[in-house]
Amino acid sequence: MRESFLNPRVTVDSMNGLEATRVIRNPDSDIPDHHIPIIALTGRALISEQQECLDAGMNDCMVKPIISEILTKTIARHVLQRVSV
């Protein structure tokens, strides 16, 4: 089964979500799907920090605490956009 979207951690030891997103979006990488929706869930509340996620190539950025209804709608929006293309 192929994934419908990704939710990387913005910071981890080996590679953070920003770096991972750049690799995924790089057309020269071995990633099979460069256009998979990527949605960040972060504790970074500053607009500049959220913009950093978008600039890295993520499709959306949600700030914790996450409201499940909004998360569901956000995922659905990006997955449906992908299906309709």
Mean pLDDT throughout 60-68? 92
Pick the CATH number of 17-84 from 3.40.50.300, 3.40.50.1470, 3.40.640.10, 3.40.50.2300: 3.40.50.2300
Position 14 pLDDT exceeds 60: yes
Average pLDDT on 1-18 reads 64
Q: How would you write the chain as a 3-class SS string? A: CCCCCECCCCCCCCCCHHHHHHHHHCCCCCCCCCCCCEEEEECCCCHHHHHHHHHHCCCEEEECCCCHHHHHHHHHHHHHHHHHC
pLDDT at 1: 42
